Amino acid sequence: MNDDAQGAAIRVERPTKTLRELALDKVREAIINGYFRPGDRLVERDLCAQLGVSRTIVREVLRHLESEGLVANLPNKGPIVAQLNHDEAKQIYEIRAALEGMAARLCAEQNNPAIADALNKSLEDIRHSYREKDMAGVLAHTSSFYQTLFSMVDRHVAWGVVNLLTVRINHLRSMTIKTQNRDVQGPAQMARIVDAIRRGDGDGAYQAAMDHVTSASAIAQAVLSGRQPID
């Protein structure tokens, strides 16, 4: 008993990430951070060499990323890094708007101050990262802001969908947050979400969340079509 209890307490929290999962993370990361660029071919055997794993693993990883939408498969030519076109990006932002709006409304309807508090915490982290010019931190904490939004009302499925879609527009995100004034406007818009939630104002929270994504989408569109917005 004692043994069991101690064993459980001591047990090294090893979710034994399998080699496949490690490889998956590595490749996904490589695509997200731009090591592999959109359109690049992903040659199986090259990946084997680079990752130091067998083709079995590489193939499973490629399949997985394919169903995530990060990799596209040309018939008889093989996998390439998926290219995100304009219109698709817009659609992804639109879906996020709908789902994040929904989650924000649900949060507001909970009338639980702890939610607004938790969100404010993330928001502070975001502001801090902006001040430090730590753009990776901004992205991470923004992600965690939204994760809180969904998990506080137990919407992990919706969070999964948002997360899945988000990786596909990740490079856009990293560009939008770098635009002029986004360090002020972004957090301000998110603060409006939190305020509405604290007031228990469902419609307001919904609208504020929609607005935030919509404005990010607009910036992304501008970035995609070349010119930087002055805003």
Partner DNA sequence: TACCATAATATGGCCTACCAAAATCATCTA
Partner DNA sequence: TAGATGATTTTGGTAGGCCATATTATGGTA
Stretch that binds DNA, among 30-38, 40-48, 82-90, 156-164 (CB under 7 A): 40-48
Which one, 95 or 224, has the nearer CB to a copy of itself?
A: 95
Does residue 156 interact with a copy of itself by CB under 8 A?
yes
Does residue 152 interact with a copy of itself by CB under 8 A?
no
3-state secondary structure the chain: CHHHHHHHHHCCCCCCCCHHHHHHHHHHHHHHCCCCCCCCECCHHHHHHHHCCCHHHHHHHHHHHHHHCCEEEECCCEEEECCCCHHHHHHHHHHHHHHHHHHHHHHHHHCCHHHHHHHHHHHHHHHHHHHCCCHHHHHHHHHHHHHHHHHCCCCHHHHHHHHHHHHHCHHHHHHHCCCCCHHHHHHHHHHHHHHHHHHCCHHHHHHHHHHHHHHHHHHHHHHHCCCCCCC
Stretch that binds DNA, among 75-83, 110-118, 182-190, 222-230 (CB under 7 A): 75-83
The option from a copy of itself, DNA, none interacting with 201 (CB < 5 to 8 A, set by class) reads: none
Does residue 23 interact with a copy of itself by CB under 8 A?
no
Q: How many CB atoms lie within 10 A of CB 88?
A: 15
Q: Classify strands 71-74 and 78-81 as parallel, antiparallel or unpaired.
A: antiparallel
* Shortest Å, Cβ 165 to DNA: 25
Does residue 91 interact with a copy of itself by CB under 8 A?
yes
Does residue 53 interact with DNA by CB under 7 A?
yes
**In the structure encoding, which two tokens stand for residue 107, read together?**
């949060």
CA distances 122 to 20, 51, 68, 129, Å, are 32, 34, 27, 11
The option from DNA, a copy of itself, none interacting with 158 (CB < 5 to 8 A, set by class) reads: a copy of itself
The option from DNA, a copy of itself, none interacting with 79 (CB < 5 to 8 A, set by class) reads: DNA
Does residue 42 interact with DNA by CB under 7 A?
yes
* Shortest Å, Cβ 225 to a copy of itself: 17
x/- track of binding to a copy of itself for residues 170-209 (CB under 8 A): ----------------------------------------
- Binding residues vs a copy of itself (CB under 8 A): 14-16, 18, 20, 56, 59-60, 63-64, 66-68, 75-76, 87-88, 91-92, 94-95, 98-99, 102, 154-158, 161, 165
- Binding residues vs DNA (CB under 7 A): 18-20, 41-46, 52-57, 73, 75-79
